[in-house]
């Protein structure tokens, strides 16, 4: 059994009422499906499921810390989905925001998974705008910086995370383009 139908059903139930957030999640999952083609079947399935679930922590019923990566990861751990929990907890440079918010202890409860699955999750999330529109990483970072004032933890974190995000996007582009490292 694949994880994707379960993941989609969970997030649709919890997030679909939030409008643009649901549009963003669906578009991230579409990007992840493209990247999944260069991974093993198991890793591709996990990637697409993680893409569906990466923002599940925004669901009002799951909001405990006000930090969606950990709120979502806790939900997934409670459902026995440890690998998904770890991917969701650390997606898109979450460690930087955890540091800004003083939530590092809560984040480190979830081991970091590094490698092509995490890179592809970052790629899918950071090349998709808040309403599901395609964006470059630079456009996405600029959009986040405009949405949050300079003194907000999200703004500060995205500035600090940008080199890590850029490297993950470039590695994924390289896989998708047979090593060329150029955007597709």
Cα distance between residue 142 and residue 162, in whole Å = 11
Taking 50 as the pLDDT cut, the residues of the chain under it are 182-184
The pLDDT assigned to 184 comes to 40
pTM value is: 0.95
Phi-psi region of 111 (alpha: psi -120 to 50; beta: other; left: phi over 0): beta
- Residue 117: which of 184, 171, 160 has the closest Cα? 171
* Alpha-carbon gap, residue 71 to 56, rounded angstroms: 8
Place of tokens 């456009």: 139
Q: What is the mean pLDDT of the chain?
A: 95
Q: Are 182 and 173 in contact (CB under 8 A)?
A: yes
pLDDT of residue 88: 98
- pLDDT, residue 179, reads 61
Residue 85 DSSP SS3: helix
**pLDDT digits over 88-135, tens only?**
999 999 999 999 999 999 999 999 999 999 999 999 999 999 999 999
Q: Where are the domains of the chain?
A: 4-175
């Amino acid at each position: 059994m694949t994880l994707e139908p379960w993941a989609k059903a969970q997030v649709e139930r919890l997030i679909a009422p939030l409008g643009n957030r649901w549009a963003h999640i669906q578009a991230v999952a579409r990007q992840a499906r493209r990247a999944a083609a260069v991974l093993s079947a198991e890793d591709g399935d996990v990637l697409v499921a993680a893409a569906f679930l990466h923002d599940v922590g925004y669901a009002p019923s799951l909001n405990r810390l006000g930090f969606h990566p950990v709120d979502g990861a806790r939900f997934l751990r409670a459902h026995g989905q440890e690998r998904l929990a770890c991917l969701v907890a650390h997606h898109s440079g979450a460690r930087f925001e955890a540091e800004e918010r003083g939530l590092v202890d809560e984040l480190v409860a979830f081991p970091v998974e590094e490698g092509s699955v995490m890179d592809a999750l970052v790629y899918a999330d950071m090349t998709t705008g808040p309403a599901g529109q395609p964006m470059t990483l630079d456009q996405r970072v600029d959009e986040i910086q405009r949405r949050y004032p300079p003194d907000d933890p999200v703004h500060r974190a995205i500035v600090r995370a940008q080199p890590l995000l850029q490297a993950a996007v470039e590695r994924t582009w390289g896989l998708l383009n047979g090593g060329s490292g150029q955007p597709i």
